[in-house]
Amino acid sequence: MTRLAVLADIHGNLPALQAVIDDMAQFKVDRVVVAGDSINWGPCSRGVMEALWERRWPLIRGNNEFYLLDYDTERAPAHWSRFTMPPYLHEQLGDGWANAIAALPDTVQLRFRDAPPIRVCHGIPGDHWTAITPQSSTAQIRRWLRDISERTLICAHSHIALERHVDGRSIFNPGSVGVPLDGEHSASYMILDGRENGWELAAHRRVPIDVAPLLAEFERQNFIERCGVTAHLVLEEFRTARLQLAAYLIWKQQHHAGRDDSFELLREFRDLVDASPYLPPAYRGLTSALYRD
């Protein structure tokens, strides 16, 4: 049997990563894999990369790695020019880590001798920006996975922990280590056991985390002064463990399309009695329970 720890969406949250590393010790895992978005959002992207690199765990790029690699290049979409966080991210990591992350794969196949191969991607195969969620239909999942041969898929991106089974395939999302979005201040990860007949979930772990050190580091780095309105929304995500920025952007598009971000708009958004209509459907009423079907 091979025992595999699955981490994803650390997002520059070094205290959360350290809590998971400590918690994993009890499981005597054979290998650890990281399914992308190790950097950005949190204030400790350099520390996270150093910790992962030191352990030589296999890791892939997620969509947030592209904010480091493609911002201010010809590859970047035009609307990225308005983003305030990529320059802050580059200051954390510099060209040295950018070059290391540039050489990471976008997907890997894990191929242990005593268990079937596993495909690891960030969103869906070939697309970092689309996630498999509890709302994804069986037909969608069939279409997204039709070109891969592996019967087990590890994915991430949604920050929603799930275990799904479609047409004999097993799909596992460990949830987010660094930015939980289900209201619970805990780092989420999974332990999978692999045998000749397949992979099964041995444990879904939620490790309590204290956001105070993270908020103090943001303050030390003058995060709000550097990143403006976006910084306020990111900080609120860490404080509440709930999605904020995406809801604000959807609200702004519906009610103030074409206007630049401003603290006036932010105050108007925060005065809403109920922001839930502006959440993507997967995050409405989301609980910390593992989604299984």
Q: Is residue 128 part of a domain?
A: yes
Q: Same domain for 205 and 231? A: no
Q: Is residue 137 part of a domain?
A: yes
The answer to whether the CB of 58 falls within 8 A of the CB of 64 is no
Q: Which amino acid is at 193?
A: D
Q: C-alpha distances in angstroms, 167 versus 75, 115, 139, 170, 291?
A: 37, 19, 10, 9, 18
- Supply the pLDDT for residue 237: 97
- Supply the pLDDT for residue 289: 86
- Supply the pLDDT for residue 285: 86
Q: Same domain for 201 and 163? A: yes
Q: Same domain for 159 and 19? A: yes
Q: Is residue 18 part of a domain?
A: yes
The CATH number of residue 16's host domain is 3.60.21.10
Q: Domain containing 252: what range?
A: 226-283
Q: C-alpha distances in angstroms, 95 versus 20, 42, 87, 248, 281?
A: 28, 19, 12, 32, 38
Q: Is residue 293 part of a domain?
A: no
Q: Same domain for 235 and 132? A: no
Mean pLDDT in each 10-residue stretch from start to end of the chain (293 residues)?
Answer: 98 98 96 98 98 98 98 94 96 95 98 97 97 96 97 98 97 98 97 97 97 96 97 97 96 94 95 91 90 90
- Supply the pLDDT for residue 293: 86
- Supply the pLDDT for residue 94: 92
Q: Same domain for 161 and 264? A: no
Q: Same domain for 202 and 236? A: no
Strand duo 186-195 + 2-7: pairing: antiparallel
CA gap 175, 94 in Å, rounded: 28
Domain count, the chain: 2
Q: Same domain for 200 and 237? A: no
The answer to whether the CB of 209 falls within 8 A of the CB of 178 is no
Q: Is residue 23 part of a domain?
A: yes
- Supply the pLDDT for residue 173: 98
Phi, psi of 172 (to 5 degrees): -125, 130
Q: Is residue 184 part of a domain?
A: yes
Q: Is residue 152 part of a domain?
A: yes
